[in-house]
Amino acid sequence: MNLSRLLIFSLCIATAQAQSPINLIPQPVSVQPQPGVFTLTKATTIHYNQADGRVVADMLSQQLNTPTGFGLVAKSGKTGKIQLNLTETPNAQLGQEGYILDASPKGVVITANRPAGLFYGMQTLTQLLPKEIEGKIVTTKTWTVPAVKITDYPRFGWRGIMFDVSRHFFTKVEVKQYIDQLAKLKYNTFHWHLTDDNGWRIEIKSLPKLTSVGAWRVARAGHYGDRAEPKPGEPTPYGGFYTQDDIREVIAYAQARNVTIVPEIDVPGHSMAALAAYPELSCTKAIVSVNPGTAFSDWYGNGTFKMKVENTLNPSDEKVYEFLDKVFTEVAALFPSPFIHVGGDECYKGYWANDPGCQALMKQLNIRHVEDLQGYFMNRVEKILTAKGKKLLGWDEILEGGISPGATLMSWRGIKYGIEAAHAGHNVVMTPTTFAYLDYNQGDPTIDPPIYASLRTRTSYSFEPVPDGVDAKYILGGQGNLWTEQIPTLRYAEYMTYPRAWALSEVYWSPKEVKNWPNFVQRMETHFDRADVAEINYSRAVYDAIIKTSMKDGKLRLELEGEIPGLDIYYTIDDTMPDQFSTHYSQPVDLPDGNVNLRVITYRAGKPIGHLITLTRDALQKRVGR
């Protein structure tokens, strides 16, 4: 090959590399591709210009060294091939968490006002490298970064995921692993649901029975709601809790990754684990057990319910507030977060209505409705928190009975309560079930284990946290919530979290104007590959057909669609297995009468890609109108 051909060949390669797709999640504010690539080698230097950048630089070198084996060491300086710079004069556009990443064949420079911005720039740099950078073993690879200039900063200040460790206890190692994954997606808030009916998970030294009794329950298998009641004297081997040293360790780990941990102590309802330890704090004083997942309530179609077992604290008992003062004294001392989440959701008030003390309190307060006792309770709790320098945060039920102007609300029952709270001048975190509940089924309910509701990744991606007519200054941001009734392992927690948490990370970080579902799908699929290398689990439900039915002129009509672009859907109704030579779906189909069995599968580029879904006529009939 002569010199001219070699130059042309090299130019073509460089151009192709520069033009290869840059698949980042969440999508940055601005991405400007440039010619060429930067190649990472064992001679690459990593420098930071100010001492505050050292932690991020050390984390970057560790991230790069594990799969490359290069042994890179971060040093103070201003001439690194990878240079981490904190600004001398703040760049107002970048704020506290933004960054500029400038990659050229000469090197990579990440500039930010604060270490958080350097950290997020580091996450973007990692995503620009080949997927093998996510691995845990040394790999021989050409480690190139496409030349690009990225300017990036978040849309919202609150970008969170809630993790429920009450229904299932996850070790501190597992919690740190989960936080690490979230931080890479530029989430900055970890809402730690530490107490509920099914287990009290945080050590309170002044109230030792909260963990010696409240952290443990009888062993049960099977679906939540179908489990047997505890038997008298039955051992309680299942559970666990975090010591205060564990809590400090997890907080420090999260802080290094620019994640604030918001603890939740769920009161006055969802307190069965606390009442198992201290039954005198209830209205009836009845002995209860930490709930192992039994059907302890009856739910009605209009959203109301009745508890079969008491799980609420007594708002008329001063000893309850003494108890809470002890709890929040220790919680406030542990967590640097300005917020403490106090729950407030799904509080059944039937026991209050029948309690003489509560009735006397209502008379004293001149209130007619027992629901208003929750407002009294929450205001008492807020005074406790304020005395400890903390702000009250709660689920949207805290609006019931009135809350102070300083209270912050999480809107979970849709967005309407968030709208109401914002109009009343409250700060709001948007986390509605309809877009953000990560415990919901991701695809067809016949494929994944059954759950009472479903939420597609496409729907999560479509979420807009600022409703029309609401002043955006009251919307702090949003979060996804992972309840763990049906999640017994971290591996399955990952499966339920991703890719929906990838979608939500973009909702909360990226500008509204850059959101594009087909483009996100392309980037999501590259992250499937990266997750495989990182050994992180995820769902592939986006590849499965969506199956709907309706009635048309007395006929059962079948409608199929794909969640992502480019899928071919094939089906049979003649009890044969479908493949690419079966009927290709193109428009709604009226199914014949009789015992029809539908089988559906998706293909892409001539290869099967989704699950085979099989539904009887009865099952199809039950989907009418859903």
Peptide bond preceding 356 in cis form (omega within 30 of 0): no
Cα 365 versus chain centre, distance? 40
The strand order across the sheet containing 545-552 reads 545-552, 555-562, 589-590
d(CA 376, CA 613): 51
Can you list the alpha helix ranges (DSSP code H) found in 463-605? 490-497, 500-509, 517-534
d(CA 185, CA 501): 8
Is residue 371 annotated as part of the catalytic site, yes or no? no
Beta strand pairing status for 583-584 and 568-572?
A: antiparallel
Can you list the alpha helix ranges (DSSP code H) found in 462-581? 490-497, 500-509, 517-534
Other C-beta atoms lying within 10 Å of the C-beta of residue 134: 22
d(CA 526, CA 131): 8
Q: What radius of gyration do the chain's Cα atoms show? A: 27
Residues in the chain: 626
Sign for the pseudo-dihedral over CA of 23, 24, 30, 31: negative
525 within 8 A of 502, measured Cβ to Cβ: no
551 within 8 A of 621, measured Cβ to Cβ: no
Q: Is 198 left (phi over 0), alpha (psi -120 to 50) or beta?
A: alpha
Catalytic annotation, pick one of 346, 382, 397, 563: 346
130 within 8 A of 143, measured Cβ to Cβ: yes
CA atoms within 13 A on the CB side of 205: 8
Encoding tokens for residue 238?
Answer: 């299942």
- Show Cβ contacts of residue 132 under 8 Å, excluding neighbours closer than 6 positions: 67, 139, 141, 533
Amino acid at 248: R
Beta bridge pairs of residue 158: 477
Q: Encode 561-584: b = buried (16+ Cβ within 10 Å), e = exposed.
A: ebbbeebbbbbbbeeeebeeebee
Burial (CB < 10 A; 0-12, 13-18, 19+), residue 454, is middle
Among 444, 440, 556, 549, CA closest to 504: 440
d(CA 491, CA 538): 9
461 within 8 A of 522, measured Cβ to Cβ: no
Beta bridge pairs of residue 506: none
Give the catalytic positions in this structure: 346
